[in-house]
A and B are shown apart, each in its own frame.
Chain A
Amino acid sequence: MTATLAFQLAIAGISVGSIYALVALAVVIPFKASGVLNFGQGEMVTAGAYIALVLTTLALPYAVVFLLVVLVGAIGGIVIERALIRPIIRAPEFTVVIATFAIGLLIKGAIQLRFGDSPAAIDGPFGMDPLLVAGLRFNPTSVWIFVCMLLVTFAVIAFFKYTRLGKAMRAVSINAEAARLMGIRVESVWRWAWGISTAIGAVAGLLVAPVIGVNPEIGTLILRGLVAAVIGGFTSVPGAIIGGLAVGLIETFSGVIVGSTFKNLVPFIILMLLLVFRPYGLFGVAVAKRV
Chain B
Amino acid sequence: MFSRQTIIAFIALVLLAALGLYVGTYTIYLLNLAMIAVIAAVGLNLLTGNSGQISLSHSSFMAIGAYVSALLSARYGVPFWAAIPTAAAVAALIGAALGFPASRLHGIYLALATLGFLQIVQIVIEEFADITGGVRGMRVPKPAWFGAMLLNEYEIFLVVAVSCVFAVWSATNILASSYGRDMNAVRLSPHAAQALGVAVARVKLGAFALSAVYAGVAGGLLAMVVGFIDPIEFGVSAALRQITYIVVGGMGSVAGSVIGAVVLSGLPEVLRPVREYSDVIYTGILLAFLLFMPHGLVSIWDAARLSLRRALARSFAK
Contacts and interface: CB of A to CB of B under 8 A. Distances in A.
B127 A261 contact: yes
B68 to A, nearest CB: 20
B296 to A, nearest CB: 12
Interface string B92-108: 00000000010011111
B243 interface: yes
Contact of B283 (A106, A230, A264, A291): A106
A275 B116 contact: yes
Which of A87, A106, A269 gathers most chain B CB within 10 Å? A106
B294 A279 contact: no
Contact of A95 (B127, B279, B290): B290
B287 A94 contact: no
Interface residues of A, number: 38
Given A265-B124, A276-B101, A113 B286 contact: no
A223 interface: yes
Given A106-B280, A109-B283, A226-B115, 19 more contacts: A37-B108, A37-B111, A91-B290, A91-B294, A93-B107, A93-B108, A97-B111, A101-B240, A102-B283, A102-B287, A103-B287, A226-B112, A227-B116, A265-B123, A271-B116, A272-B117, A272-B120, A276-B101, A279-B109
A223 B115 contact: yes
A109 B281 CA distance: 9
B123 A264 contact: yes
A84 interface: yes
Nearest to B284: A106
Interface string A243-278: 000000000000000000110110011011001100
A291 B283 CA distance: 36
Interface in B119-144: 119-120, 123-124, 127
Contact of B279 (A39, A105, A223): A105
Nearest to B98: A272
B290 A99 contact: yes
Best-buried of A95, A101, A262 by chain B (most CB within 10 Å): A101
Contacts of A264: 123, 127
7 contacts: A93-B107, A94-B48, A102-B290, A103-B287, A105-B240, A223-B115, A265-B124
B217 interface: no
Interface of B: 48, 52, 54, 101, 104-109, 111-113, 115-117, 119-120, 123-124, 127, 191, 237, 240, 243, 247, 276-277, 279-280, 283-284, 286-287, 290-291, 294
Contacts, number: 97
Given A99-B287, A102-B286, A102-B287, A276 B123 contact: no
Interface in A73-102: 84, 87-88, 91, 93-95, 97-99, 101-102
B115 A276 contact: no
A230 B110 CA distance: 12
Contacts of B279: 105, 109, 112
A93 B280 contact: no
A275 B119 contact: no
Contacts of B280: 106, 109-110, 113
Contacts of A265: 120, 123-124, 127
A98 B109 contact: no
Contacts of B52: 94
A97 B109 CA distance: 11
Nearest to B236: A101
A109 B48 CA distance: 26
A112 B279 CA distance: 10
Contacts of A95: 290, 294
Contact of B54 (A97, A110, A291): A97
Contacts of B116: 227, 268, 271-272, 275
B123 A230 contact: no
A271 B112 contact: yes
Contacts of A112: 279
Nearest to B127: A261
Contacts of A102: 240, 283, 286-287, 290
Contacts of B108: 31, 37, 93, 97
Contacts of A272: 101, 113, 116-117, 120
A244 to B, nearest CB: 16
A91 B124 CA distance: 35
Given A37-B108, A106-B280, A110-B280, A268 B119 contact: yes
